Amino acid sequence: MIVAVVHNEDARVLVDALLAHQYRATWLHTSGGFLKQSNATILVGVDDDKIDEVVGVVRDNCRARSQTVSPIPPIMEPGEFFMPYPIEVEVGGAVIFVLPIERFERI
């Protein structure tokens, strides 16, 4: 089982590419903790000999890119002043987990 957490903008392109390569995929809408933005978790069940090919499809379709965001201000005491300056962060790409599956049934 391959679990790929990808940027929401890359999810449709990735699922379409997986389907074009004859891999079934399940798309779950999820959200991340750091930027509080939505992302996608893609589940793909494949045999061990196909793992590298699926990871290659993910690599080809999920690119990291820079994005400017305004940080969330910290909790402040009365009278304090916080001026949030936009910062540039890297978004996109993919985090891939490969999990062993003991049993699988398609009903």
Per-residue pLDDT tens for 31-64?
876 656 788 999 999 999 999 999 999 999 998 8
Q: What is the DSSP letter of 51?
A: H
Closest alpha carbon to 47 in 106, 1, 99: 1
pLDDT (0 to 100) of residue 66? 79
34 belongs to a structural domain = yes
> Would 13 be classed as within a structural domain?
yes
Q: Domain for residue 54, yes or no?
A: yes
Is residue 106 situated within a structural domain? no
Query: Using one digit for the tens of pLDDT, what is the confidence trace for 55-100?
Result: 999 999 998 877 776 666 656 667 666 667 777 776 678 999 999 9
Task: Report yes or no on 30 lying in a domain.
Answer: yes
Task: Tell whether 41 is covered by a domain.
Answer: yes
User: How many domains does the structure of the chain reveal?
Assistant: 1
Handedness of CA 25, 29, 30, 32 (dihedral sign): positive
Residue bearing tokens 């061990």: 48
Q: How is the chain split among helix, strand and coil, in percent rounded to 5?
A: 25, 35, 40
**Residue 48 belongs to what domain range?**
2-73+80-98
CATH of the domain at 41: 3.30.70.120
Domain membership of residue 8 (yes or no) is yes
pLDDT confidence of residue 38: 80
* Whole-structure pTM value: 0.75
Side chain identity, residue 6: V
Q: Is residue 104 part of a domain?
A: no
Tokens of 103: 């049993």
